[in-house]
Amino acid sequence: MTWTKSDQPAASDPGTGMFRALRVRNYRRYASANLLSLTGTWIQRIGQDWLVLQLSDDSGIALGLITALQFGPSLLLSMYGGVLADRYPKRRLLLVTQVLMGVLSLLLGLLVATGAVELWHVFALAGGLGAVSSVDAPVRQAFVSEMVGPALLTNAVSLNSTIFNGARLVGPAVAGLLIGAAGGNTAPAFLLNAASFAFTITALAGMRADELEPSPPVARGRGQLREGLAYTWAHPDLVLAMALAFVLGTFGFNYQVTIALMARESFDLGAEAFGLLSTAFAVGSLSGALLSTRRNVRPRQRFLAGSAVVFGLLTVVSGLMPTYLSFALMLVPTGAAALVFSVANNSFVQLGVDPQMRGRVMALYFMCFMGGTPVGAPLVGWVSEHLGAPWGLILGGAVCVAAGLGAAAFLARHRTVGVELQRAPLRLRLRVGPRPAAVPAPELRAAEETLAAKAPGQQSL
């Protein structure tokens, strides 16, 4: 079926259904290509972790360091990527970052294929990939709203997570089979990932520019990074969401380390078993992402706190599982809880930000979500290596539970109770809610201002 510009759903009529954002032609092409590219990315991640274990004699610390190098640059470069996203056309920026990531993957594959690879090569290329990804991530997140518009943004964010975890479902299993079939050689994983970037590059290049909804570009100027920080700090709800993202990203979302160590150290299994464990986690993640596609409105803050507690508890229970099968089964609900929190938190931030600030705020969000990994991953690797692999999960999950309970206590303490008198029609209304400092979604702010102008007779006592 061929879609034309008239086929695109209007912002005021987003339609219904779990996959409604796919009615937008540009997003549909991008999402299809992204599924293939992300499958390649997950194949590389499994191959990279396995290669590090091969080159380092199963060192948990080395595995944590490679993860830290891949995500560490986000601490330094994500905000700059956000400034670029607000200043320049996002589609062109994404074309550049996708090409660079494909080249880095190709280089690692060639080093492994020729037998010239050393551990420092993997570290260096992981750092380079992390540097490019730290710019790519905020641009990519901000670009979603340009493809689908605000009415479909929540659904598109959920679909992106569904695609990401669909790729996670397939990628690790394919990686395990590839590495096993090649006798432990990880080169095919890296070369396949390098080729997969061509799909996203083709989709970006073939988009219809007149169907995009770009936000007004921000003129080049001084202090734009500080402006993004000040904007976020002025809105307590955004600060709370980013604090949760930092804690869970630092101590909870380290499954690339903990699953690998559980497979090799606790269960003494090979690459195929490692890939299947990652697939089990992805089954749950995919389920959580699909559940999230039904959401049409901005999540509540108490939902973020509750989902953080549930994820932490399930992570602790996963670490207590005594057998390979029980651990694999427990990874399914844990993965679902992880994605329910992740999608809700992402949507909460995106829908609470003015369009001209979205790039910088999303960059700060990814700094919080991924920036703690350089600390958390080596720490979890150290704990797992010295106390045993299960303790990386148990202690990390306990910290996530504490963070969720702390957020819930903060919300309970900062709620207010008031009585409003409305004259037409005459009624009294009890209001229990957060303090006015919390920022609503931009669309809600506009609606509130319109209602205030039309109903001057409402007063609050």
Rounded-to-integer distance, Cα 73 and Cα 94, Å? 18
Residues 367 and 440 in one domain: no
Same domain, 318 and 445: no
What's the chain's average pLDDT?
78
- 339 assigned to some structural domain: yes
Say if residue 461's pLDDT is above 50.
no
Question: Is 114:257 a contact under the CB 8 Å cutoff?
Answer: no
Is residue 14 over pLDDT 80?
no
**In the chain, what percentage of residues exceed pLDDT 70?**
80
CA-based radius of gyration for the chain: 23
Domain boundary among 398, 413, 428: 413
Across residues 17-27, what is the average pLDDT? Answer: 84
Confidence of residue 15 (pLDDT cuts 50, 70, 90): low
Give me the number of domains the chain comprises: 2
Q: What is the mean pLDDT of residues 327-338?
A: 92
Is 12 within the bounds of a domain?
no
Tokens of 416: 């207010």
pLDDT digits over 359-385, tens only?
A: 778 778 877 877 666 677 778 778 877
Residues 119 and 148 in one domain: yes
Is 13 domain-assigned? no
The verdict on 229 and 348 lying in the same domain is yes
Please give the pLDDT value at position 430: 43
- Supply the range of the domain harboring residue 386: 18-413
pLDDT for the residue 288? 82
Work out the number of other CB atoms within 10 angstroms of the CB of residue 1.
3
In the predicted model, what is the mean pLDDT of residues 45-61? Answer: 82
182 with 321, same domain? yes
Choose between 259 and 224: higher pLDDT: 259
Same domain, 163 and 229: yes
Task: Mark whether 355 and 426 lie in a shared domain.
Answer: no
Residue bearing the bigger pLDDT, 134 or 100: 100
Question: Would you state the pLDDT for residue 359?
Answer: 73
pLDDT at 10: 40
pLDDT of 182 > 60? The answer is yes
**Mean pLDDT over residues 163-175, rounded?**
77
Check if the beta carbon of residue 72 is closer than 8 Å to that of residue 372: no
Q: By mean pLDDT, which of 87-101, 320-334, 374-388 is the weakest? A: 374-388
With cut-offs at 50, 70 and 90, classify the pLDDT of residue 458: very low
Given a cut of 50, whether residue 422 has pLDDT beyond it is no
Cα gap 42→137, rounded to integer Å: 16
Q: Is the pLDDT of residue 5 over 50?
A: no
Spatial neighbors of 206 by CB under 8 A, at least 6 apart, are 29
pLDDT tens per residue across span 57-86: 767 778 778 877 777 776 777 777 777 877
Residues 228 and 272 in one domain: yes
Is residue 248 pLDDT above 50, yes or no? Answer: yes
427 strand-pairing partners: 422
Decide if 25 is inside a domain.
Answer: yes
Whether residue 312 is found in the same domain as residue 440: no
Q: How far apart are CA 299 and CA 454, in angstroms?
A: 27
Whether residues 362 and 435 fall in one domain: no
**% of the chain residues with pLDDT over 90:** 20
Residue 3 has pLDDT above 70, yes or no: no
Examine residue 450 and state whether it is found in any structural domain, yes or no: yes
pLDDT at residue 435 in the model: 45
**Count of CB atoms within 10 A of residue 2's CB?**
5
- Is 434 found in the same domain as 333? no
Assigned domain for 6 exists: no
1 lies in some domain: no
Task: Give residue 118's region: left, alpha or beta (phi > 0; psi -120 to 50).
Answer: beta
What's the CATH number where 309 sits?
1.20.1250.20
**Other residues' Cβ atoms within 10 Å of the Cβ of residue 414:** 14
In this structure, is residue 4 part of a structural domain?
no
Residues 222, 244: one domain?
yes
The secondary structure of the chain, three-state, reads: CCCCHHHCCCCCCCCCCCCHHHHCHHHHHHHHHHHHHHHHHHHHHHHHHHHHHHHCCCCHHHHHHHHHHHHCCHHHHHHHHHHHHHHCCHHHHHHHHHHHHHHHHHHHHHHHHCCCCCHHHHHHHHHHHHHHHHHHHHHHHHHHHHHHCHHHHHHHHHHHHHHHHHHHHHHHHHHHHHHHHCCCCCHHHHHHHHHHHHHHHHHHHCCCHHHCCCCCCCCCCCCHHHHHHHHHHCCHHHHHHHHHHHHHHHHCCCHHHHHHHHHHHHCCCCHHHHHHHHHHHHHHHHHHHHHHCCCCCCCCHHHHHHHHHHHHHHHHHHHCCCCHHHHHHHHHHHHHHHHHHHHHHHHHHHCCCCHHHHHHHHHHHHHHHHHCHHHHHHHHHHHHHHHCHHHHHHHHHHHHHHHHHHHHHHHHHCEEEEEEEECCCCEEEEEEEECCCCCCCHHHHHHHHHHHHHCCCCEEC
N-terminal to C-terminal alpha carbon distance within the chain: 57
Nearest to 70 by CA among 137, 129, 136: 129
How far is CA 140 from its chain centroid?
Answer: 11
Confidence at residue 175, expressed as pLDDT on a 0 to 100 scale: 85
Instruction: Give pLDDT, residue 309.
Output: 95
pLDDT of residue 453: 46
Please tell me which residue, 134 or 194, carries the higher pLDDT value: 194
pLDDT digits (tens, 9 = 90+) for 279-308: 788 788 778 877 777 776 778 888 999 999
Going by pLDDT thresholds of 50, 70 and 90, the confidence category of residue 223 is low
